[in-house]
Structure 1
Amino acid sequence: MTAIHVALLGYGTVGKGVYRTIEKHQERLKTILGKEVKIVAILVKELEKHQWVNNEVLFTDNYTDIINLPKLDVVIDAIVGVEPGFSYLRQAINRGCHVITANKEMFAHHGTELLSLAKEKNVSLGFEATVAGGIPIIQTLKKLLNANKVDKVEGILNGTSNFILTKMREENLSFEDALKLAQEYGYAEADPANDIEGVDAFYKAVILSEVIFGEQPEWEQTITQGIGTLTLQQIKLFESLGLRFKHVASLQKSNTEIQCTVRPVLVTNSHPLYQVEEVQNAINIEADIVGNISLQGPGAGMFPTASAIVEDLIHIGDKQLASSPEDSLFFEKETKENIWALHGEIDNLLLSDDIRISKEIHPQVVLVETTVERIINLKTSHEICCFEVLGNIEEDKVLHGELIKEENINHSY
């Protein structure tokens, strides 16, 4: 029986998870693939930090030793950073190897180029593990795109931020104390900037945009806001009103422009993301035929990420992994008006007539209906906090109340 010869780049948490998963489930993989999956080489950055005793596997810090192996079918990228991962995978594809990556930062920057090269060389490129860990969002979207048109995607794509917001609300912790707890548990790095500022979620949103729309949003036009400015007072106030803060990445297409945001929003208990807590990730998809689909699960970790990589290995022959952008389907929608919560000194707040008051739910909180563009203008001219509200307001019992009458609102014309 012939074997599938695999090289593994990186032997940290994810790399170890992939190695152990393949070794433990070898018989199952043989049944599915009809071949043995054989890891023939592992690349590490510093040899002296590892103890390796399997003489049948090349353990090296030199990528040239790997790319020149006589038998090499698949290269799995489990390292971090744009380089050297991009260069390594480009060399592997040029050699004719199938590749699989969990490197979201690299793929957000160079995914289009790698997909094009993979198509040219007639090899597959798997990237399920770049978004939401063990949640099979990439394959789900690819299958949906066969018939459905995806209207919008909203997701909690970073477990660290979600953990911090959960602990602040449940245990009355300050942001600083919740972050420290996340670091103690190993959920946050010593430098947590990418997680708490939304950079990690943005990279994942970029990858999803490629899958759904066949192109990326304009990076400089993306709205990315972190959670570091949220206070315990704000979290407890909105909790008393039946709302929870979530750090949500959102994608949708308006006319020819892809709108991408990563920011703290408020969700009602009718929204699928309301119950997503701790380090869980979740993605809500709105499509024209199937309607709403929600996927939830572990967004990171040794075995959830390894699961996504091994599933890509099983799908390695699926040439849709290198599908061209023009095959993607989408809705083109006009700019939509959404519900926003304005928090702060609202008694004498002057609103233009294109921002409609929905209801006042607290002396310091009023709900309005308007577009994101008008909210941005409002935030720059007033010292108030503005949070989008996701979910059906009319279904939320806590938020039921009489509409504020127009004559009681101060407008500036």
Structure 2
Amino acid sequence: MSVIKVALLGFGTVGEGFYRTIQSHSEELTAVLGRKVEVAAVLVKNKQKERNIRKNVLVTTEFTDILNLPQLDVVVEAIVDKDPTYSYLQKAIERGCHIITANKEMFAHYGQELLELAKRHNVSVGYEATVAGGIPVIQTLRQLLNVNRVQQVQGILNGTSNYILTEMREKKLSFEEALRAAQEKGYAEADPTNDVEGFDAFYKAMILSRLAFKEEPNWHDVERKGITSITGQLIETAENLGLRFKHVASLKISGNQLHASVKPILIGKEHPLYHVEGVQNAVNIYSDIVGQITLQGPGAGMYPTASAVIEDLVYVCQNRPTGQGFISTKETSLVTEQDQKEETWLINGRLQNVNNDSIKLIEHVDDENCIVKAVREDIGRLSTQNEELVFYPILGEYESGRKLAKVAL
């Protein structure tokens, strides 16, 4: 029986999880692929560090050692940072290898270049693990895109931020206390900026945008806000209104206009993201034929992410068309304003004389908060005039007493 030889770049949480899964699921992989899968080499930073890797596996700090292997079929990249990982994968493709990556920052920046290079060399690219950990959102979108036209994607794409917001609400913690708890559990890095300021979710959203809509917005125009401004008092106010704060990446096509944002919003009880808690991720997809579907599961961790990499291994070894569902992007001029349709908003801060033709007061919640209906353009104008005010859109249905503001999902 012939053998599929795999090189693994990185032996951290994801890399080790992938390596262990190759050993534990060897029979299943052989049955699916008709060939045995073997890890031939592992690229590490420190060869002296003790690792549970078989003696017959090459462990090296030099990528050239991997390129010089007599047989090399697949390169799996599980490192961090954009460089030199991008150049490693370029060289692997040029050698004729399929590639798989779990690196969302690198792939958000260079994914299109890698896909085009792979197409020229007749190899495949797997990138399921770049978005939402163990949730098979990439494969799902690939299947939907055979016929369905995706119109909207909304997702909780960062488990760290979701965990912090959950802890703040359930345990009445401050942001700082919840962040510290996340760091103690290993959910947040010592420097949590990528997670809590929305960069991680942003990179994932750009990958999804290319796949779902065949284009991506101008990055500089995307509204990206983190969760650091959300206080325990705001969370309590929202809970009293039957709402929950979630950090949501949103992509929507309307006509030929692409709308994109990554920011905290308020979710009503009937919205599918309302019950997504802790480090869970979820992606809600709306398309013209199937309608609305939601995928939910662990967004990170050794084995959930390893699961995504393993499924990509099957995908690339079957040599699926590289371009499927991921066509050349064009950097469009992003339209940040939604259609001129009223939305429901929570305004945090002291707002005077709210009732006018463009902004309609629904409810005074307390001295610091009120609910209004307005189009996004008018909210933007009000924000410019009152910089101390903070605005949070409400998705789903907001209901308080006899007041009901229905908002499209």
TM-score (norm 1): 0.91
Change (3 A) 1:148 1:403: closer
Instruction: Show structure 1 runs of 4+ deviating over 6 A.
Output: none
Matched with 2:345 is 340
1:217 equivalenced with 2:217 (yes/no) = yes
* SS of equivalent to 2:132: coil
Q: Residue 355 of structure 1 is aligned with which of 353, 356, 359? A: 359
SS of 1:29 mapped into structure 2: helix
> Does the aligned pair in 2 maintain the 1:43–1:62 contact within 8 Å?
yes
Which residue among 367, 370, 373 is the counterpart of 1:366? 370
Aligned to 1:122: 122
Q: CA RMSD in A?
A: 2.1
Could you tell me which amino acid in structure 2 is paired with residue 193 of structure 1? T
Contact 1:255 1:334 in 2 (8 A): no
Q: CA shift at 1:361, angstroms?
A: 4.8
Give the equivalent residue in structure 2 for 1:56: 56
Q: Which residue identity is paired with 1:41?
A: A
The 3-state SS of whatever aligns with 1:325 is coil
The reply to whether residue 154 of structure 1 matches residue 154 of structure 2 is yes
Q: What is residue 33 of structure 1 aligned with on the other side? A: 33
**SS where residue 212 of structure 2 aligns?**
helix
1:341 aligned counterpart, secondary structure: strand
Give the superposition deviation at 1:336.
4.6
Give the whole-Å Cα distance in 2 for the aligned partners of 1:146 and 1:336. Answer: 31
Residues 1:325 and 2:327 are matched in the alignment? yes
Residue 411 of structure 1 corresponds to none
Alignment of 1:377-392 (within 5 A): 377-382=381-386, 383-392=388-397
- Asked whether the equivalents of residues 123 and 322 of structure 2 are also in contact (C-alpha less than 8 Å), the reply is no
Deviation at 1:389, TM superposition (A): 0.5
2:226, 2:379 → 1: CA distance? 17
What is the DSSP-based 3-state SS (H/G/I as helix, E as strand, rest coil) of the residue aligned with 1:132?
Answer: coil
Q: 1:52 to 1:302 in 2, by over 3 A?
A: closer
Offset at residue 319 of structure 1 (A): 2.6
Q: Which residue of 2 aligns with 1:73?
A: 73
Contact 2:123 2:319 (8 Å CA) reproduced: no
User: Over residues 335-390 of structure 1, what are the superposed CA-to-partner deviations in whole Å (9 max), with x where a residue is unaligned?
Assistant: 554221122213x2346533344444555433333333332222221222210111
> Distance between the aligned counterparts of 1:53 and 1:123, measured in 2?
28
Task: Kindly state the Cα deviation for residue 36 of structure 1 after the two structures are TM-superposed.
Answer: 0.2
Distance 2:321 2:270 in 1: 35
Question: Secondary structure at the residue paired with 1:180?
Answer: helix
Look up the SS of the partner of 2:217 in the other structure. Answer: coil
For structure 2, list consecutive stretches of 5 or more residues without a partner in the other structure: none
Deviations 1:41-92 (A, max 9, x none): 0001121223466221110000000011110000000001101110000101
CA distance in 2, matches of 1:211, 1:204: 11
What is the letter of the counterpart of residue 366 of structure 1?
Answer: C
Is this contact kept in 2: 1:298–1:304, CA < 8 A? Answer: yes
CA distance in 1, matches of 2:356, 2:74: 59
- For 2:306 and 2:340, the matched residues in 1 are separated by 39
- Shift in Å, 1:214: 1.3
TM-score normalised to the size of structure 2?
0.92
Query: Does the 8 Å contact 2:158/2:299 carry over to 1?
Result: yes
For 1:353, give the aligned amino acid.
D
SS at match of 2:76: strand
Which residue of 2 is the match for residue 306 of structure 1?
Answer: 306
Q: 1 CA distance for matches of 2:183 and 2:38?
A: 36
**Residue 204 of structure 1: how far off its partner (Å):** 0.3
Q: Is the 8 A contact 1:359 1:403 kept in 2?
A: no
- Which structure 1 segments of 5+ residues have no match? 405-413
- 1:306-350 superposed Cα distances (whole Å, 9 cap, x missing partner): 00000011111253443352699xxx994554221122213x234
Report what 1:409 is aligned to.
Answer: none
**Aligned residues: percent identity?**
53
Give 1:274's aligned residue. Answer: 274
Distance 1:202 1:41, change over 3 A: same
Residues matched between the structures, number: 396
Distance 2:264 2:382 in 1: 17
| SS of alignment partner, residue 262 of structure 1 | strand
